[in-house]
Structure 1
Amino acid sequence: MIQIALATGEQLTIMQHFLQASHLPLAGLERDLWRAWLAWKDETPIACAGLERYGKRALLRSVAVAPTWRQQGIGSQLVRTVVQEAQALGIQEIYLLTEGAEAFFKRLGFQPIARENVPAALHASAEWNGACPQTATVMVLRCG
């Protein structure tokens, strides 16, 4: 059975390992991360996800699954858990930037949005400011 739990500060290096292995940006991770989650199988971390908070909005970032655990629904389970917990904490919209995972996020309810329609507060994110290229697709999930 897969367990999903909030990550501790000491577990940030586990997230960094997943992100590097998945070729995802590390920029702003330590500065901007509000909450982070790890998925575990027994005592082995197998996936991660994080949120940056900007008022009632958040940026979903750093969703990565260990290669041997991909295509088993773990990423979906993790993102659904993050969304539920974010909603419980008052987040009304969750945005993300992606290159190539649009279909995955669309299945989870995220919809593409034009870059110019993203609230200015999210422009403070390192992901918005160059960690993700301008060609990345922006998506949003409205929670309320």
Structure 2
Amino acid sequence: MKIRTARSDDLDAVKALLAENELPIADVDAALLVDFLVAEDANGRIVGSVGLERLGRNVLLRSLCVARQVRNVGFGTTLLSYAEAAARSAGVLELWLLTTIAAGFFRSMEYVEADRSSAPAEVGQSPQLAQLCPTSASCLTKRL
């Protein structure tokens, strides 16, 4: 697996991967892709993604996704580690995320449950928290 910074020409592949895994794509565009990482398989096909949506000194972790055919081999953990390292390097204080199905995974990676109302204002006003993710989604955070 090769992890690299996403390029604008990856947009369709990233959106297809997210849609295949029932993750929001409405606001995923070339501008947002600037802070995404992708994982490629040996054939150069995108099989994973993760994004950092910068919101002040906090970041919304977005779109951590691994293609079904390559799950359970550590791609998600590796992508998350790369994203956290990038956030630390950028001076990010906290990561926030919403998930409907992967709360257990993130808790195992030292994320803690948080009430959406406790998120910093810029995080709470993001389209992900304000509109795109259902209110039933778990909100988690990790201090870096």
TM over 0.5: yes
- Give distance in 2, aligned partners of 1:131 and 1:119: 18
Q: TM-score scaled by structure 1? A: 0.93
Give the corresponding residue for 1:8: 7
Paired letter, 1:104: F
Matches within 5 A, 1:44-63: 44-63=45-64
CA drift of 1:122 comes to: 1.0
Q: Which runs of 4+ in 1 moved over 3 A?
A: none
Instruction: Provide the residue aligned with 1:41 in structure 2.
Output: 41
What amino acid does structure 1 have at the position aligned with 2:73?
Answer: Q
Asked if residue 133 in structure 1 is aligned to residue 143 in structure 2, the reply is no
Is the CA contact (8 Å cut-off) linking 1:28 and 1:125 kept in structure 2? no
Q: Which moved more, 1:95-104 or 1:32-41?
A: 32-41
Aligned to 1:18, the other structure's residue is in SS state helix
Could you tell me how far apart the structure 2 residues matched to 1:70 and 1:48 are?
A: 13
Secondary structure of 2:29's counterpart equals: helix
> Which stretches in structure 1 are left out of the alignment for 5+ residues?
none
- SS of residue in 1 equivalent to 2:107: helix
Counterpart amino acid of residue 94 in structure 2 = E
CA-based RMSD of the aligned residues comes to 1.3
**Distance in structure 2 (CA, Å) of the matches to 1:85 and 1:19:** 21
Q: Take 1:141 and 1:47, find their aligned partners in 2: how far apart are those partners?
A: 21
The CA distance in 2 between the partners of 1:109 and 1:4, in whole Å, is 22
Q: CA deviation at 1:31?
A: 7.4
Q: Which residue of 1 aligns with 2:120?
A: 119
2:21 touches 2:65 (CA, 8 Å); kept in 1? yes
Q: Is the 8 A contact 2:11 2:30 kept in 1?
A: no
Q: Distance in 2 between matches of 1:54 and 1:5?
A: 22
- Name the amino acid aligned to 2:41: K
How far residue 63 of structure 1 moved from its aligned partner, in angstroms, is 1.0
